[in-house]
Structure 1
């Protein structure tokens, strides 16, 4: 992610919303926010990891709301620093499982259509993963009309944070690039919270996770490319940045036929 961000001239903002251990910010890197200048690290830990969602809620509603606020406030800080394009990525353990549960709860789709192989598990482990998603939904009974309830019961701190960041981008009219399955599940939750955010959301790529393509179709977003990525961390979103910039510059800088004095009349 750091290498690709340097290629794209993008700043990396790393936010600890709920890492299970304490991290020393001094060992992470740069604390400046200019594009291409290195990493920015913010400690905004809501709690050290989520609970086992197969036995009860992943977190409390108040914790989910705090994580949403973390994403909102950090995204606002980024925009205030001059950033005009947000790319959403994440790092987490087992979060394709939680993303499948969130998508199933918000859309009503069958869990089997959403659960994939994650980082490359075998079919037997996929069945265990599917059982975990189904058990979590039965145990917690998330309210499909309340995205915050869904995030708190079967989501993750990183998803709630990304949802808050997506809402902040839309509020400030800044385009938001989704990465893979987890980031798109977070945007799905954000759009359920406020449908007015949808026009500001863009799909960078379609990952190998089956649930990702379904979410993109629900959002009405066509990905810019499909490279069978399963990397996460925002890598796909950063790869899409030059394409977004190229499209914007063509609209802004390229002359139309009329402006260039070119006739489109037939001979």
Structure 2
């Protein structure tokens, strides 16, 4: 897989980095078509063992993603769980559970379901001045999974303020709150995300995948269970080719050639 299109989403693979470009109109609205396309792309990425990082970005649209297409609501009021909520939640869970690190490159507004999509990535890089928010309250709506992920990043008080008011914050405040990892003061967020992705790819892919699992375990599991899991994966690291290669490269004063095993 080098370049592929799944309707509302395109994917390009350059070496060990895959880029998912949303391609669903000028605002990249979250529609059933976009979710189906993204789900198919995730199917393909899950099978790419040699990938070391995935970037999600807004392509050529004005927005990273401006949220749900409100026009679809008319047809789903009575069966929202079946027609939207459960499927959207599954796709975002699958994105969050990709084994390799993921980065959202946010060059335009990320609002409502668009911010939820970015929150499902491990890291977020944002262009200066871009607006972010879970704005569903303005319509009497609610960000479901986004409320939970937002709270884990910024804490309950700040999350409640954003959710209750439907307000947006700019990239700079999002950085100070811990909502985004980096702000691209010059140039695009996508360029900054690519730079970060290359730095990630230069490190041990096996250790990065296990690090992702351990961080998630720290949030999701009781401490004792997470510590037991850390012992298991540490042993796997010491049994790996990559750690022996890293040590050999250190003493030889050369760059390591990690194989991900």
TM-score bin, normalised by smaller chain = 0.3 to 0.5
Please identify which structure carries the higher strand content: 2
Please, what TM-score do these two structures have when normalized by structure 2?
A: 0.41
Of structures 1 and 2, the one with the larger relative CO (CA 8 A, separation 6+) is 1
Please, what TM-score do these two structures have when normalized by structure 1?
A: 0.40
